[in-house]
Amino acid sequence: MKNNKVLIVDDNALNRRVFENILMNNYLYDSANDGEEAIEKIKSVEFDLILMDIQMPKLDGISALRIIKEDNLTDSPIIAVSAYSNQADREYFLSTGFDDFIAKPVKPRDLLEIIRFHLDKRGNRLVETKVNATDSVFDESVILQLMKYHTLDSIKSVYQDFLDEAENLANEIKNLLNLKKFEEISEKLHIIKGNSGTLGISNIFMVSSKFEADLRNDRFDLLDGYYLQLEKCLIDFRTSMNNNKLFEKYE
């Protein structure tokens, strides 16, 4: 299995790191920050499978796929990775030429099963593409899955990176709310939502999801309340991290 090499294409550094931690014990891997960098890597290195984020600067995933197909750069499976997750979205991505689709937030088991399915056609997969978030702070199943593939210290570091980034984004969101720059706020919430969902931080995922959904539907009356909820969730999560409450049972 270690002979197979996977290219991870995502503009978000934390997403790339989570994918790398999941893959490292099973596959060789490399990463690209956007579609342009991915194309350059594909031209010089043979990859057995490519995980392609859809929303990226410079060159998005669909445009990158089009160039790869037109120039016959690889015949390896290319999997779309996106926060858009309903059946219509999946069918659209497949219609553009992707070999499969996995929704963000990505669950480790689902990611590995999709990869195995395409690298070993004898495999069968049962993929969960929806997040079953609850009002709890933390989805324990996520860390149990991550611990199958990496050390607890490394996992702690990933959660710390998430928190540092989310706090910075929240501070930017606060300033943008005063300026009513709703499109920029939505972009930052999209990052928080995707990363918190992938890491199983359920309350942050739920708040950022509702916050983003209201913005996209031009509902602005609850935005200040959403921000206060998000801020509280991040403070509570920081407290749990500092007290080591999240991880003490796994040590």
Residue 123 in domain: yes
Tell me: do 125 and 16 sit in the same domain.
yes
Give kind and range of the element (H or E) at residue 102.
strand 100-103
By three-state DSSP, how is residue 8 classified?
A: strand
Cis peptide bond upstream of 105, omega within 30: yes
Is 147 a member of any domain? Answer: no
- Does some domain include residue 144? no
pLDDT recorded at residue 132: 40
In a domain, 210, yes or no: yes
Does 29 share its domain with 65?
yes
- Same domain assignment for residues 213 and 113: no
Instruction: Kindly report the CATH number assigned to the domain that includes residue 54.
Output: 3.40.50.2300
The verdict on 18 and 79 lying in the same domain is yes
Let me know whether 17 and 109 are in one domain: yes
Q: Count up the domains in the chain and report the number.
A: 2
Q: How many CB atoms lie within 10 A of CB 94?
A: 13
Residues 227 and 113 in one domain: no
In terms of domains, do 109 and 193 share one? no
Q: What pLDDT, on a 0 to 100 scale, did the predictor assign at position 91?
A: 81
120 and 44: one domain?
A: yes
Of 98, 130, 162, which one is at a domain's C-terminal end? 130
DSSP H helices in 72-107 = 87-95
Q: Are residues 162 and 91 in the same domain?
A: no
- pLDDT at position 176 is 95
Residue 169 lies in a domain: yes
Q: Kindly state whether residues 110 and 188 are assigned to the same domain.
A: no
Report helix, strand or coil for 204.
Answer: helix
Query: What is the reported pLDDT for 130?
Result: 39
Q: What is the pLDDT of residue 137?
A: 65
Reduced to 3 states (helix: H, G, I; strand: E, B; else coil), residue 208 is: helix
pTM, full prediction = 0.62
Contact 6, 129 (CB under 8 A): no
| Model pLDDT, residue 38 | 96
Residue 141 in any domain: the answer is no
For residues 223 and 214, the answer to whether their CB atoms sit within 8 Å is: yes
Q: Give the pLDDT confidence score for residue 2 in this predicted structure.
A: 66
Nearest to residue 213, comparing CAs of 235, 193, 237, 236?
193
Domain range for residue 56? 5-130
Q: Average pLDDT by consecutive 10-residue portion of the chain (251 residues)?
A: 85 90 88 95 93 92 94 92 76 87 85 85 39 52 75 86 94 94 92 87 88 87 91 90 77 74
Q: Which residues contact 88 (CB under 8 A, 6 or more apart)?
A: none
pLDDT of 64: 95
- Crossing angle of the two packed helices 108-119 and 13-23, in degrees rounded to 10: 60
Amino acid at 90: R
Q: What is the CATH number of the domain that holds 214?
A: 1.20.120.160
For residue 74, is it within any domain? Answer: yes
How would you classify the pairing of strands 49-53 and 78-82? Answer: parallel
Instruction: Specify whether the CB–CB gap between 35 and 57 falls below 8 A.
Output: no
User: Which helix H or strand E contains 226, and what residues bound it?
Assistant: helix 223-242
Q: Are residues 199 and 124 in the same domain?
A: no
Verify that 200 and 109 share a domain, yes or no: no
